[in-house]
Amino acid sequence: MSAIAGTWLLRMKTPVGTIEADYSFEEEDGVIRGSASGGGETTPLTDVAVEDGPAGQRVTWRQRITKPLRLNLEYDVTVNGDVLTGESRAGRLPRTRVTGERTSA
């Protein structure tokens, strides 16, 4: 089972302030699917990939949002127990620090 499975509260530290969103990941037959809710919309996650690493499981995914702006986001995080850390990126914008904690398994 993937370490990312469950529900998470993520915080993204952006130039306009910290943004929080709820993320849900499910694993079925070895395939991980996810969605994110925040800012008045729920969006599916695409291209979710997991690989084992020395500091925990590395998880990457993509996401399209329309609020507050239309952005294509790419995430690269490391999951260690009930904590995740990493970064996201929206096109040419600077990388954004991401932290998260599991809220349920």
- d(Cα 70, Cα 54) in Å, to the nearest integer? 35
Beta bridge partners of 14: 17
Identify the burial level of 39 via C-beta atoms within 10 angstroms of its C-beta, where 0-12 means exposed, 13-18 middle and 19 or more buried: middle
CB 77 within 8 A of CB 49: no
Q: pTM for the complete prediction?
A: 0.93
What are the C-alpha distances in Å from 13 to residues 74, 94, 101? 15, 11, 15
Averaged pLDDT, 29-46:
94
Give the DSSP letter of residue 70: -
- d(Cα 53, Cα 34) in Å, to the nearest integer? 21
**pLDDT tens digit sequence for 65-85:** 998 789 999 999 999 999 999
- Give the CATH superfamily of 6-104: Quinohemoprotein amine dehydrogenase alpha subunit, domain 2 (2.40.128.120)
Confidence at residue 8, expressed as pLDDT on a 0 to 100 scale? 98
